[in-house]
A and B are shown apart, each in its own frame.
Chain A
């Protein structure tokens, strides 16, 4: 080949960017196919990967449906709803621990470590396993490696929760090009498909989180006017309500406290979720649960269900009112309400939304798929496919710094369009002071203790000067992912000032690096296992084909030493078949291929003749 036509494929940019909805209960992956976003299915044709992760007895981390099986057989080896723990400390999740079977290690202060079997994992590592599963599905779909992704997060996620999601992506071997807010992503898919002008409210009630976003759509611009929400409100909470009631019944009917029996609780959870789903379409259903030869039945009807969940649904209204207020619009100006998240299938939720927004909500798009589709649209925008579309999102929480007396001074207000920045000049309070500590928080309250500590930034290497003489200009920048970046500059010298970040919650960069390295090792062993399995499948095929060819007329047409060569290559491949070196298996597949080349040609000739006689190739 002339050098002119040589293309170095290693240098070709890999342009596949997938969009991922990393949900509390379910996760999905999608991509942009020319003009439309499409979901990617697994080998069985399933779109949804349950966000469940388990450690098998063989010490292998698995995610999705196989993990769901482990959750029921050996609950102590599996975990679900880990999104509730992302970016949080152990003190934050005291409530969750009452309701979820999280086994949290005692030494988890700023980063939660949870037990699975005999090992400890952080929430980003668990989420990374779900992402890895989605990545595999995408790679199988394209037949190419996939390493870039847009991942969605609840709009109301704070900085630490966003950072934890980004960390999960990195651990899974994905470059996270952008974090997109879930309701905004949904609006992209919706805007592409349905309406593209006007004011739209997106009501997103998922497995574990609630978001409301109000957007203005105009000529391809999607401008978020305001967002609000609750990162601990969703379908999980409804399940837990029903489980509690069933547990009380069981305590009196069976005289048994099932709570101490994790397998029983998980089976009950399944039964409860089934009943919940049934009540979205039927006026009544039977909650059926059989366990250890005992049977529990309870009739549930919709009025009772509605009464039970009404307080939870009510909790979504205050964020809605606040968002309308912050958007500086009247509720009547909203042209359309879009429902997102599996929990919006519940009739009471739909009624409540209709009353709140004085409009029948839009339900044409599948509420469980629209977020992943929107993530793919954003991936398309970044790749330059949808250059007429642009998303202008906001930061959900105000950003402030601690000042004298524990009072918060707000620098960037909530619902500011991102990227957003603020600059503040700091000085020293003591002669010769060489560093300044800045405590950054997120939240709407006035006092530091009522806000969420984000990080402490240590400005180091300030030249020693009399008190109040130093001038350090600090720039706080919230990027398009909603993540804070801090830089500092000495105003006198104009020099960049070093800033050391001490995150209050979450992993340090070094910890993430270690996890990435571990996961690369893991990925390599995964890769080897997959390669070996594939090589054996190919070896099986060629062994079978060769054995069959040895009965063919052509076999007797080739020279005796050629026949001997084929036999040798065949036996050698049989010998190496069970080695665990996939390269060795591949080498012997190639040998056998070479040895049978002439034989195959002869057979082809026969086949061509046969086909003229009306015989097809596979009839040979």
Chain B
């Protein structure tokens, strides 16, 4: 379950603060809520306008940053430090589409897939097998460079495809929500991770 502080009492005046950052009644800074979307004033949507996100981040930084709380009591200085750490973390997570999607899955109880051979997406098994053979040849000195170049181009194309697929999943979630959309995002993310690792291995072998 997602914890939000909105139902709790304000530490300063005891009334419900009714807002994420500052108490509506006494304006004092509140302990950070956990949901990072909400912390930046956003709904749990996956397609985000980067410029808008940056503006939100800058505006909240101006209000929450410890530099603004230097002359204030210790309690508020500590709250400002905590709030800014959460804000920075939230911005870092949300500005990256993959981290953003993984975070959303986490909120809904879906853990990021472990990167073990057991989790190889079935449709990729053949690719992985071929690549391992080529890499083995390369290590034993055979002239496998052309094959690796081909493999790199192929993986780059696959990465591009999976990114497009992810875009589609994001749109579906933003429109309809639902567990099924999340499951397909989860699948696409796993596949993407795997392709990226393959690409990394090939690039490393080529350089």
CA distance A562 to B86 in the complex (A): 76
Given A219-B58, A221-B61, A477-B81: A420 in contact with B67 (beta carbons within 8 A): no
CA distance A81 to B175 in the complex (A): 62
B207 within 8 A of A: no
**B41-49, B87-95, B122-130: which lies at the interface:** B87-95
B66: which A residues are within 8 A, CB to CB? Answer: 419, 479-480
> In chain A, residues 173-228, which have Cβ atoms closer than 8 Å to a Cβ of chain B?
177-178, 218-219, 221, 223
- What is the size, in residues, of chain A's interface with B at 8 Å between Cβ atoms? 23
A346 within 8 A of B: no
Q: Interface SS of chain B: helix, strand, loop or mixed?
A: helix
B65 within 8 A of A: yes
Q: Which of B58, B70, B81, B92 contacts A419 (CB 8 A)?
A: B81
Q: How far is the CB of A423 from chain B (nearest CB, A)?
A: 10
Judge whether B62 and A390 touch: CB under 8 Å: yes
Given A381-B67, A382-B67, A390-B67: A419 in contact with B88 (beta carbons within 8 A): yes
A392: which B residues are within 8 A, CB to CB? Answer: 61, 65, 88
A280 within 8 A of B: no
Judge whether A421 and B89 touch: CB under 8 Å: yes
Total residue contacts A-B, CB cutoff 8 A: 51
A418 within 8 A of B: yes
Given A382-B67, A382-B70, A390-B67: A417 in contact with B91 (beta carbons within 8 A): yes
A435: which B residues are within 8 A, CB to CB? Answer: none
- What is the size, in residues, of chain B's interface with A at 8 Å between Cβ atoms? 18
A593: which B residues are within 8 A, CB to CB? Answer: none
Q: How far is the CB of B157 from chain A (nearest CB, A)?
A: 22
B71 within 8 A of A: yes
Judge whether A420 and B88 touch: CB under 8 Å: yes
> In chain B, residues 49-78, which have Cβ atoms closer than 8 Å to a Cβ of chain A?
58, 61-62, 65-68, 70-71
B86: which A residues are within 8 A, CB to CB? Answer: 421
CA distance A383 to B69 in the complex (A): 10
A497: which B residues are within 8 A, CB to CB? Answer: none
Given A416-B92, A417-B88, A419-B85: A391 in contact with B58 (beta carbons within 8 A): no
Measured CB to CB, the nearest residue on chain B to A221 is B58
Q: Which of B67, B81, B82, B89 contacts A391 (CB 8 A)?
A: B67
Q: Which of B65, B70, B92 contacts A177 (CB 8 A)?
A: B70
Q: Which of B67, B70, B92 contacts A417 (CB 8 A)?
A: B92
A-B contacts, 23 of them at CB < 8 A, read: A177-B70, A221-B62, A382-B70, A384-B70, A387-B68, A390-B62, A390-B68, A392-B61, A392-B88, A416-B92, A417-B91, A417-B92, A418-B88, A419-B84, A420-B85, A421-B82, A477-B81, A477-B85, A479-B66, A479-B81, A480-B65, A480-B67, A480-B81
Instruction: Enumerate the 5 nearest inter-chain pairs by beta-carbon distance, A residue then B residue, closest first.
Output: A421-B85, A417-B88, A419-B85, A382-B70, A221-B58
Report A's interface with B, CB cutoff 8 A.
Answer: 177-178, 218-219, 221, 223, 381-384, 387, 390-392, 416-421, 477, 479-480
Report B's interface with A, CB cutoff 8 A.
Answer: 58, 61-62, 65-68, 70-71, 81-82, 84-86, 88-89, 91-92
